[in-house]
Structure 1
Amino acid sequence: MYFFNKIIWITGASSGIGKALAIKLSKQQCKLILSSRNTASLELVKQSCDYPEHIKIIPLDLENYTSLILKAAEAIKAFGKIDILINNGGISQRSLAAETNIHVDKRIMDINYLGTVSLTKAILPHFIEKQEGQFVTTTSIVGKIGTPLRSSYAASKHALHGFFDSLRAENHQNNIAVTLLCPGFINTNISKNALIGNGAPQGKMDVATGNGMSPERCAKLMLKAIKNKKEEVCIAGAKEKLGVYVKRFFPRLLSFLIRKLSVT
């Protein structure tokens, strides 16, 4: 019951990994703040959780990152403090770089990077003041390895690693932990909602995503990493994890293998 009575804010909580995290955390009787753009879906997640009376809903749009300081103040006021912020919201991509409109690149960076960073910076003074807190950010295996059809998505996730590694070093003396979680293929709607080159949703499930790890299994492994305050954990299948190690020790080999991946 490590999470008992802790106050945890989850973004991207209306479906997929965020929903699974909320349901599992609610069983440990913590207090939850659930956020995403979809209020109706958040209400359904709330009703699926144990102790819904301990759950607050704060709708937000990460793309509107200049508004997030007000959302942070609202979240802190909800239960008087925040113990853990789980930055889980984001959007993916399925398009070649040459066919991706620059406005799509910007939108992905605004949501995945600037939205996450803005919310983190809004909570940071609160953590510093109470000399305690934990930032948890869902990145991706693609935050470690760039793959076809995901150039902007990979860039946004790589950027998160750079930011949070620096933030961890800057705030070690403030007893603030930073945990980066790197999922591989997880069976969620991420590929259906992924943006294609003109900015429209792809609207279909990738085969690899459909065959991926369940959100419930992913959430269980994430919570273990959060509890142990791990700095970085890859939550993925054997091939995806192997790719991270090959990238580190045999980068040219990985480049050769990545080129063999389908780009259609």
Structure 2
Amino acid sequence: MYFDNKVIWITGASSGIGKALALALSQYDCKLILSARRTEILEDVKTQCKNTEHVAVLPFDLADYEKMEPVSLKAINSFGHVDILINNGGISQRSLIMDTDISVYKTLMDVDYLGTIALSKALLPHFVKRKSGHFVTVTSLMGKFSSPYRSGYCGAKHALHGFFDALRLEHENDHIKVTLICPGFVNTQVARNAITGDGSLQQTQDASTENGLHVDVFAKRMLKAITKEKFEAYIGKKEVLGIYIKRFFPRMIHNVVSKSKVR
């Protein structure tokens, strides 16, 4: 199996997609490193995993992007090396541009973009030295086209595509792989935890997220995309069609999204 005998590091592992990935991957003969901000929640996820002796907990905050080198070293020392880094941690946004303080955009870029690339850059020399490694980064369909109420989130996710496409090109000869996962709507707490124009949490669910893919179904499809070492994978329901409409009919996707009731 693709994941057997590998060390897999998951950020944002305390809930949602990250937790679902941890539980699914714990069924394989692999070792896991679970990261998020809160130790107690990570420990709870660990207890739900199979083979807990093969699961390490490494709490840190993606917003502290200048401290990623020691975090990366701790991860490597957990089991001797890292084979796959799943960049899943991040936050979403729900606010109109006119209502959004510039500090909110900074928070989104610090966590969703700079935190992710700083962590990946800190681990990169380890992958280069081993001539092996796989960066798996969860972006969004919003990293390929945009939607109202998500301007900062869309900007950060678009930026991740630019960075990791360049990383893939620069390190192809080092046998380093990059997979970008673009979720559509997944039924998690992402909407409730989204920040609004003043930086406070939205704390409410929306219909599109509520009716999205079950997180376990999403995790299964995501793991399949990783095993196939896809460059990009679009995972969701009918909203995935937006990728292809954007590519061939950019004005049409504008009209479709502007008429939708997505919030």
Q: TM-score range by the shorter chain?
A: over 0.9
User: 1:263: how far off?
Assistant: 6.8
Superposition RMSD on alpha carbons, in Å? 0.9
After superposition, the C-alpha distances for 1:43-99 in whole angstroms (9 at most, x for unaligned) are 111000000010110001000111111100000011110000000000000000110
User: 1:253: how far off?
Assistant: 1.1
Structure 2 letter corresponding to 1:252: R
Contact 1:58 1:75 (C-alpha < 8 Å) held by counterparts: yes
Structure 1 residue 261 corresponds to structure 2 residue 221: no
What stretches of structure 1 of length at least 5 have no aligned partner? none
After superposition, the C-alpha distances for 1:207-228 in whole angstroms (9 at most, x for unaligned) are 1101110111111011011111
Structure-2 residue corresponding to 1:228: 228
Cα distance change, pair 218–263 in 1 and its aligned pair in 2 (3 A)? closer
Contact 2:208 2:262 (C-alpha < 8 Å) held by counterparts: no
Structure 2 letter corresponding to 1:227: T
- Residues of 2 paired with 1:53 and 1:235: CA distance? 32
Structure 1 letter corresponding to 2:244: Y
| TM-score w.r.t. length of structure 1 | 0.98
Structure-2 residue corresponding to 1:244: 243
User: 1:29: how far off?
Assistant: 2.0
Detail structure 1 runs of 4+ shifted over 6 Å in the superposition: none
Structure 1 residue 144 corresponds to structure 2 residue 144: yes
Matched position secondary structure for 1:193: coil
- Residues of 1 paired with 2:69 and 2:194: CA distance? 27
- Residues of 1 paired with 2:212 and 2:251: CA distance? 27
| TM-score w.r.t. length of structure 2 | 0.98
Contact 1:246 1:253 (C-alpha < 8 Å) held by counterparts: yes
After superposition, the C-alpha distances for 1:170-203 in whole angstroms (9 at most, x for unaligned) are 0000000000000000000000000000000000
Matched position secondary structure for 2:28: coil
What are the residue-to-residue correspondences of 1:135-214 with 2, within 5 Å? 135-214=135-214
Matched position secondary structure for 1:190: coil
User: 1:261: how far off?
Assistant: 2.7
Contact 2:9 2:82 (C-alpha < 8 Å) held by counterparts: yes
- Residues of 2 paired with 1:55 and 1:137: CA distance? 21
Contact 1:148 1:261 (C-alpha < 8 Å) held by counterparts: no
Contact 1:133 1:176 (C-alpha < 8 Å) held by counterparts: yes
Structure 1 residue 47 corresponds to structure 2 residue 27: no
Structure-1 residue corresponding to 2:101: 101
